[in-house]
Structure formats: C-alpha cells, structure tokens
Structure 1
C-alpha cells in the first residue's frame, strides 16, 4: 500500500491529509505552525507508515519554517503550482468548493494521480540555498532602487528639470553617487543656483569622482544657472522636501544592495561550482551567482541537458492541433532565469567567436534578436550541464565544434 500526503499551508495552522493509493482518506489532522506542529506531523506520518520518508507531501509553497523543518527531517516535499492545483478541484466534485481540510486532501490526490509529473524539492546544499536568498534580495534591492530613481526623476521634472536631465546621458542616471550627493546638497533650483564651481568640485570629489572634475563642475554650474520655469517659492520648497525624502530612500536602498552584494560574493566564492560557472564567456560574478542560486547544486535535479533547458525556459513550446502548428517561447517561467539567460547570451556575443557565429546564423535564418539569444542561451546550458557533470571548465573551441562525440552531442552542438 502506498500513501500520499497533502499539507494545506496557513499562517497560524496547517491541515494535513493522508490518502492511500485507492484514494481513501487515512487520516486528517490540524497542526499549529510551530515546533510542536512539526513534531506532530512527523509522528502522524510515522503512525501511517513506519518509514515515513516513503510518504511524499504535496504543498503549494516551497518557503517557510514548516517546509524547512520537513526538508531537514528528510521528508520528501513536492511543491505544487497553485494554478495547477486549482484545475484539479473539479475532479473531486462537480461544484468547485474550497476549505482547508478539502485542500489538504486535494493536494494528496494530486500526488496520487499525477505524482510522476511532479518532482520532489531538490536536495540543495545550505550554501546554495543561502546564496539563493541573498541573490534574490540583491536583485529586489536593485529593482527597488531603479523604481525609486524613476519616481525621483518624475518629481524633479515638475519643479527642477535641470536636475532631472543633468545625469540622464550617463549610465545609472540619478543612482550615480555624484548625482545623489549633489541633489542632497541642492534639492531645489534656488539652492542649486547658490552652488559655486568650487563647491561642486568638492561634492564631486566626495562622491568618488577622480577624472574631469573641473569640467563636470563647470557643466553642472552652467546647467543650474540656465534660466528655466520655476514653481512658486512655497511649492518649490515643499517639492524639495519630497525629493529629499525619496533621495533618502534611494540612498538606503543602494546601500542595502551594496551590502548584500558583499555577502553574495563571499558565499559564491565558497561554492565549489562557482569557478565552472565563471569559466563561461559573458558570465560575470553577478550572473554566475544568480544562475547557481536558482539552479542549485543537486546533481540529480537535471538528468539531461534537455531537462535543464526546459527548466530555464530556453526551449520552445509547440502548439499543434490538426493542421495548425505554432511554436513559441515559454512565457510562464522563473523571471530570474529568463533575465539572466538574456543578459548572459548578450554579453557573450563580444567574448566568444562561437557564440557570435551561432547568433549570426540564427539571425540569418529568420530569428529575431530575443529568439536568437534564447538559442544561444540553450546552447550554453547544454555546455553547462556537461561541465557540471564532468567537473570541467568551459572551452569555447569544444562547445561550438561540430562533433559527433558523446560529450558534444550531449551539449547539443
């Protein structure tokens, strides 16, 4: 007799249901979200079967202390997509209904009926799991800083257009240290008009600029003294306070991103697979850390390079019905992997002759720029799968060689 469990997750309590391979409910219990609840859950599974590790548990989230406790106890956990689970509701009743008890039983039924279509949570090392948390937090901080910079620019355009355009032609724009330190010293046009060239040079030096300080100070001085439309004094002062508040938030977010990146570098350097990732062309420290964090280091997670490509959304989906056939890229995927793959493939175009040749061939065959980059991304993933399996560094002349050897065939070259 086989058994399958479902755990309906909640903030204060969880519902556990266990069914047998005939679909009969074996047990149901409600557990508190604490250490005692985890002990009760494991004891319940042991009551059902002495070897509780043979009972997979379906759950709709892969995060939280309860999931961490189950994984630490060696219990197989299968994370199910909530959208897919919702489509199963009509299997048990004609009228869809929802309850914590019913959802726990539904999750168990999903594993019983289609358990082979869902994979258990990979056995990721503590280092890789911690790296995933840090890289995601770092990416979120970067996105937040970009959002705050756009909001700040929108506010500046309403009363201080010279500041909104002063650094628009430079990379990073308002997130640059020199932009933030000048705006902190002069958050309004009135205060900017009081800045002398010497004061601007001092601010630029404090921001870390080392080249063309005098030229940049002269440019800003002329820009801030150019006649422009102005808000009434009271409104200008109020909007200056608003911009200063946004600037404070922006500074804090950028500082957080920088601190997180220091921790990311430390963890990434400690992982044995990092050097393999960084051996690929276009794979800088940031992209390597993100890709390693999202893929994990479980050697059994991706049996073939095809599995790895599908997980990273680097392979297309075919829609075929009768005489109709359409091939499109995967849209429902991990956004971090999709973003990392695009940046990786684009950066490799100027660092790998083989990558550039493959990209040009795909463009000549009719692929648009994103599609050609996805082809290149898929090719790199095949090479990455081979390198990780054999613990070797990437070699461009082998990755793009037209060979029929087993290794190169597995790379998809």
Structure 2
C-alpha cells in the first residue's frame, strides 16, 4: 500500500508519498493541470510493483471536486476527501507550536489516510447526472442568495434618501418595482411618473387591480418627505440604478437556472421518487438529491443519512451530566432544503402534520419540531431510495401510528 497526502492550492499541489510504515518515499510540488497529474502518476509508479493495482494507492486531499480529483478517481486510486477542520485538529496532535507549511500539511494528510482512514469518508461514487444536478442547483441557490443580498443593499440605500419608495413598494425585487425604480430612481423623477407609466409597469408584471394600485403608488411617491441635499441625492440615485440593473440581471439568470435545474433533475432516474416525497417539488427535490448524491453505498442505513443531513441530534455526556443538542456542523444547503421540505409537508401530508403537532404538544419549539419532522422525512426518503419505491402516506406513518396506539393503551 502507498499513502499520498495532497495539499492543494489554486495553482499547485504539495504531495508526499509514504509506505505502510510511515516512511517518506517521495515529496514534490506539482503544478495544477495535465503536466502535474502526469508527474504524480510517475511519482506513484516509481514505488508500485508491476503486479500492483491502483487501488493500493490511498490519497488524502481536502476537497471532493474539481478536475484534479476526477483525474485521481479515473486512475483508480482510493480517494478520501478530508474536512480541513479534521486536518487541522490532526496536525495539532503532533505539535503545539502552531507551525504550518504546505509540505507539512501534505505529510499530515498522508499520515491520516495511513493510520485513520477507517474513520474517514471516501469520495462518493456519484453519477455524472447527479454531479450535473449539483452544479446547477448550487448555482441557482447562490444566485438567489445574491439577490437577497442586493435587495437588502437596495433597501438600505432607499431608506437613507428615498423612504417613500419603501412605503410604495412591498417587494423590491419584483418586476414592476425594478421597472419603475429604473425609470425613476430619484424622488423628484418618481414624483413625475404618470398614471400611464405606472399602469404599464404593473400590467407588464401581471398585477391585479391595476388602476387602484397605480393610483395608490402615485399618491405615495408624490407625498412630501424628508430628503438629502441635491448632490447627495444624485449620488444615491446613481447607486439605485446600479442596484436595479444588478437585480434585473439576477432575476433573469435565476429564471434561466431554474429551467436548467428542472431539466437536469428530470433526467435523473430517482427524480420520481424524490418528487413523491411530501413537501418536495422539482427545485427542492433537486437540491436534496444534489447534496445527498446518488451513490447507493454511501449511506449504510437511515441513521447514516440522517447524520450526514445534520437533522439527527448529538449527545454530550460526561459523568452524570447528559444533554442532547442539535447539530451545528452541517451542510447548510442540505439543511435549508430539508427545513423547507418539512414546513411544506405540514400541508402536503396528514402524517407529517400529526407528527409535528405531537412534538409541539410535548412543549417543543416550532423550529425544533420542524427539525425532528425533517429527520423523520429523511428516514422515509432513505427507505424509498433503498427499495426503489414511491412514497406512500399509509406505509410511511403506519409504524408511528401503531407506536402511538400502544403508548395510549
């Protein structure tokens, strides 16, 4: 067996090769790209016998994606994606001076896969379709987060020089709001907007009760308000134009990426199973699939999937003291999607609603009850994926109902 530690940077990799006894066989700094990966194969080949297999090479690296990792997987090596926090804690085991170097990190990673790989998670063997879903869903969600950030910046800007706009527009990211603010980002120009201009913007946004809303908007925008000096107001107006342009582009790209998410998700063989789950539509279903992956061997059981999801609690025990806490280290994208699913399932599933109500009657808070419901839904999803069956309301909650009946008896 050969053990390789790969400390990667943007343009290079520091690697170290060890044997089973921990003896250093080689060390190098490799450039990113084809030339670098060829040198790595050569370095490994110097220490492999003619009859040895690529699976006898174990590599530890602090990432699970990118062309370099794909090249390592294609070569047949065993790849372990190590959390940087784990690597930092491991490094502290061997020294308390705080010294750090790229070569030292490569040495620590090689040591980790040599001595502790039974505690580490190998890179999942997800299909290319699942990887594609992951790319587009993450891009789509990132664009939504960016829209939220820029909307808050626009709100702060308007609050400082044009408060009437905040009173007039409930949703600053709405199409009619961006249309009108783009035309009139200045209090004076907004006051001069005609009823026809406002009506046209509302109609393009497909609003209802257009005449009444147009009249109300015009009245609010023409009302007297506190203001800034003219030169400062002009500067703020230029800022609003820039924010409106960014938000308009984000809205267009979010819609385009949403179509990509639905298209890629629809091509996955497990899409129907995900869509059958209560509270999951095409977007949320795609996000959950993307973050869980589709490697059938990745999760040994439902508990392993719950632990990865971050919905299952953790226990801290010392002596006579024992407390149960929520997991604070988790995949933010996955936990967000599962939380939204749990909330939507309150309407979509009678069993989910009954389970949530039961937790609330026990005195548990709304968010804690949703988290427990999400934990239950993850277990149901795992069972459906394992057996290749669609969600069934009766089957999913039958065990729970029987347990409640026994408890009541």
TM-score by length of 1: 0.93
Equivalent position to 1:382, from 379, 382, 392: 379
Quick one: distance in 2 between partners of 1:96 and 1:154? 42
Indicate the RMSD between aligned Cα atoms, in angstroms: 1.7
Which position in structure 1 is the counterpart of 2:405? none
> Aligned residue for 1:308?
305
CA contact (8 A) 2:59 2:110 kept: yes
Q: Deviation digits for residues 226-263 of structure 1, max 9, x if unmatched?
A: 22222233322221111111111111222222221111
> 2:54–2:75: 8 Å Cα contact kept in structure 1?
no
Q: What does the per-residue CA deviation read over 1:352-408, in whole Å, with 9 as the maximum and x for residues that have no partner?
A: 110011011111122211111111111111111111111111011110002799xxx
SS in 2 for 1:402: helix
> Of residues 275, 284, 299 in structure 2, which corresponds to 1:287?
284
Rounded to whole Å, the distance in 2 between the matches of 1:364 and 1:221 is 49
Tell me the CA shift for residue 44 of structure 1.
2.3
Indicate if the aligned counterparts of 1:45 and 1:52 stay in contact, CA closer than 8 A.
no
* Paired residues of 1:14 and 1:30 also in contact (CA < 8 A): yes
1:89, 1:97 within 8 Å by CA — same for their partners in 2?
no
Provide the residue aligned with 1:222 in structure 2: 219
Aligned pair count reads: 399
Which one of the candidate residues 184, 187, 190 is aligned to 2:188? 190
| Counterparts in 2 of 1:95 and 1:223: CA distance versus 1, 3 Å | closer
Deviation (angstroms), 1:94 = 5.3
Residue 93 (structure 2) aligned to one of 84, 87, 91: 91
C-alpha distance in 2 between matches for 1:194 and 1:154: 23
What is the aligned counterpart of 2:263 among 259, 266, 271? 266
User: What secondary structure does 1:30 align onto?
Assistant: strand
Question: How far apart, CA to CA, are the structure 1 residues paired with 2:162 and 2:35?
Answer: 59
Alpha-carbon offset, residue 203 of structure 1: 1.8
1:70 aligns with 2:72: yes
Q: 1:90, CA displacement in angstroms? A: 3.6
Once the two structures are superposed, what CA deviation does each residue of 1:169-190 show, in whole Å capped at 9, x if it has no partner? Answer: xxxx101101110111111111
Tell me, in whole angstroms, the C-alpha distance in 1 between the residues paired with 2:304 and 2:123: 15
Matched, 1:402 2:399: yes
1:240 to 237, 240, 244: 237
Q: 1:298 to 1:223 in 2, by over 3 A?
A: same
In 2, Cα distance between the equivalents of 1:356 and 1:403? 13
Asked if 1:14 is matched to 2:16, the reply is no
Q: TM-score, normalised by structure 2?
A: 0.94
Preserved CA contact (<8 Å) 1:42 1:52:
no
CA distance in 2, matches of 1:127, 1:291: 14
Deviation digits for residues 142-194 of structure 1, max 9, x if unmatched?
011111011111111122111122222xxxx1011011101111111111111
> 1:309-347 CA deviation, whole Å, 9 max, x = no partner?
000011101000001111101001100111111111011
* Cα distance between partner residues in 1 of 2:101 and 2:230: 59
Question: What residue number does 1:102 align with?
Answer: 104
User: Equivalents in 2 of 1:325, 1:342: separation in Å?
Assistant: 27
